A and B are shown apart, each in its own frame.
Chain A
Amino acid sequence: MRGPRLADLRGARRRHDPVGQQPAAVEDDAEPVAEIDAPEEVDLVFRLQRRLAFTAGVVFLAATLAVPVLSITWPTWYAVGERGGITPNFAAVAFLLPTGYAALALVFRRRADVYEERILGRREPHP
């Protein structure tokens, strides 16, 4: 999953008007400031998050559904020899897919957090 570069995101954030929504007053050193989400920034985050979520979703569904499809079509994938052994099919269902889900979740969380941190929460002098 490759998203936009973070430097580009910072640039995109600077381009928007400072029209805030629900400013949150915070103390930044001595000067009170407000954290602002502009509608354009929220829209940008929405689009990035949607792309991230659906890309991850496609990877997830493709990997998950590939296993039963291969179970139907490819004997090397599913057939057990007379002497036994673990087939790629069994290994995928019992180990690889669950482990892959955990890895996907960690990557997704990190990227989603980064988008929000870098784009939202601009600090302005408190009105």
Chain B
Amino acid sequence: MTMNTAAVVLGVIFIIGSLVVSLYARRRTRTVLDFYLAGRRIGAFANASAICGDYFSAASFLGVAAAVYVSGLDGVWFATGFAAGLVPVLLFLAAPLRRSGAFTIPEFLGMRFGSRAVRLTAVVLIQLVVFMYLVPQLLGLGETWAVAIGAALPGLTPFDTGMLVGALVMVAYVGVGGMRAATWQQIFFFWFFFSAVLMVVALAYLNGFRYLPALADLAPEPLRTVHEAAGEEAGVQWQVRDDPNRLHPDRPARFGEPGHRYGAAEQVSMVLGLALGTCGLPHIIMRHLTSPTGRLARDAGTYVVILATLYYIPAVMAGVAARALLPGILSQDSRYAPLAVEGYLKSPEQAVLILAAGLGGDVAMGFVAAGAFAAILSTMSGLLLSGAAALSHDVYAADIDPRAPERRQILVGRLAVIAIGFLGLVMGAAMRRTGVLQTYPSVLAVMVSWVFALAGAGLFPALLAAIWWPRATARGALAAMLVGGGGTLLWIGLHAAHVGGVISGPPWLEALAGLSQPSIVTVPLAALALVLGSLRSQAQTAPQGLQDLWMRMHGTAAERPAVRLVEVSGVTDPAGGEVAGPGGG
């Protein structure tokens, strides 16, 4: 592939624009509240757009279309599952968490349960979530860079260059500008990549694609994917194979039927993991905490669910369009010959990029590549900030130097951003070299689904109980986090070893390790641990200040002055932009 001029121009504009915005935001970042929560002054619709920018990552942009392209109906579940995950955040967490006044999930859990162990365990889980989420973003960045730009720094491949440039830009951006810069960027980037998805669908329609007829035509089509073939010849050999139906083995795997990706237990487990996992994603929860009031956090959560619906329906359309139109495009243009075998892409993540190039030329491809960069970078900024907040606010400021002035806390936060970015880069490069990326079709979406599984089992039960079950105790919360988080990690490790052929054993172990999605087991286990742990420790004294916290979380007295300020200031629609709110913290 040659360098795409439009992608390069848009990429350079993004980088320079981001750095300018970051420097501007730095002038308005004086306190810890400014750095992590943008002073809690983000209006509902602006925040909803930023949450979408934060949430819709490489998995949502390249990954969903790739999953639909490869797996048909099972791939559509990624889109619907990601949208579903936003509903429990709205129902159970958004308003009470904001009203609690906490900066971060660990601070909230530590405050609610009066437990340092709970807070620190939450910090560890959040770091794991951040890294497991950051790495697929970096890999997606490398993939997009290699396809759309293709340029490489001396001694590096284009893939590695993309990861390095992206990581450096985001570390500089977030480190300097904090949450305010991240918010502005996420709002702009969300609407940019949303328009890129709409453009792809519009191009497909202009080229004769019609969604419902195409779906009807593709539905009975057998699913075939490209695999690396074992051979003695030098170099990698590729072949296209009919895939089995894992859900109904007596039927062929078809585009319009379930079973290409998941068996019976995994179908339910994956949906459960996606539906509950968002509640434990630190960057999404932190964004809700930037709202001026609990009610505006609820408004933002509602807008997010609506925007997600509006976004994912065309994202799925793009995947269907790729399945319908790519065989023709690939057969007509020899430039794509190295990327495909018998009309099927070797790397499904490239489906939307190649589709845009085939339908709208290099400019359209550049636009989509820039959209992919935007989706990835905006998610990375949220991840870096939430990871840094957990380290600097919940470890450094809470335990190591509680009297540290705000300037030093911000400095530690910036150093944490650098450290997380560097470690993520190292992990991404290591994964690239192990060949694990060829293990699954559309591996980015699979990796992200594991993050959801970890967050859903590790953090969600404790958060839910902290807000809605007065009898939940620190011991119960700790048990839930250890069982849910530890169990998920153990399961993912077991599954990875099974897929890699590292372990083998009795049939029951093979069957267990063969399940790629553990939520169906780990979420109920974590909930059980929470209930048993809490009921067995009712004699514990309630944490100091719990009554006040309860009044704050479920009352509105503390935020009413902010609501009135919005009314008095004439901002009848506070969704329009920044509004003043209680500093609360």
Contacts and interface: CB of A to CB of B under 8 A. Distances in A.
Nearest to A43: B554
B83 interface: yes
Contacts of A89: 73, 257-258
Contact of B88 (A43, A50, A57, A86): A57
B558 interface: yes
A105 B301 contact: yes
Nearest to A108: B91
Contacts of B95: 112
Contacts of B316: 94
Interface of B: 73, 76-77, 79-80, 83-84, 86-88, 90-92, 95, 212, 215-220, 247-248, 251, 254, 256-258, 264, 267-268, 271-272, 275, 295, 298-299, 301-302, 305-306, 308-309, 312-313, 316, 468, 550-551, 554-558, 560-561, 564
5 contacts: A22-B555, A23-B557, A97-B80, A101-B308, A105-B305
Lowest 10 A-B CB distances belong to which pairs?
A68-B267, A105-B305, A37-B555, A46-B554, A37-B557, A22-B557, A98-B309, A42-B555, A71-B258, A80-B256
A21 interface: yes
B217 A79 contact: no
A8 B219 CA distance: 52
A35 B256 contact: no
A93 B316 CA distance: 10
Interface in A92-127: 93-95, 97-99, 101-102, 104-106, 108-109, 112-113, 116, 120-121
A113 B298 contact: yes
Interface string A78-91: 11111111110110
Interface residues of A, number: 60
A114 to B, nearest CB: 12
A108 B90 contact: yes
Nearest to A63: B84
Consensus secondary structure, chain A interface: helix
A57 B295 CA distance: 19
Given A57-B88, A72-B247, A72-B267, A84 B220 contact: yes
Given A79-B251, A93-B77, A101-B309, A71 B87 contact: no
Interface in A35-90: 35-37, 39, 41-43, 45-46, 49-50, 53-54, 56-57, 60-61, 64-65, 67-69, 71-72, 78-87, 89-90
Contacts of B306: 102, 105-106
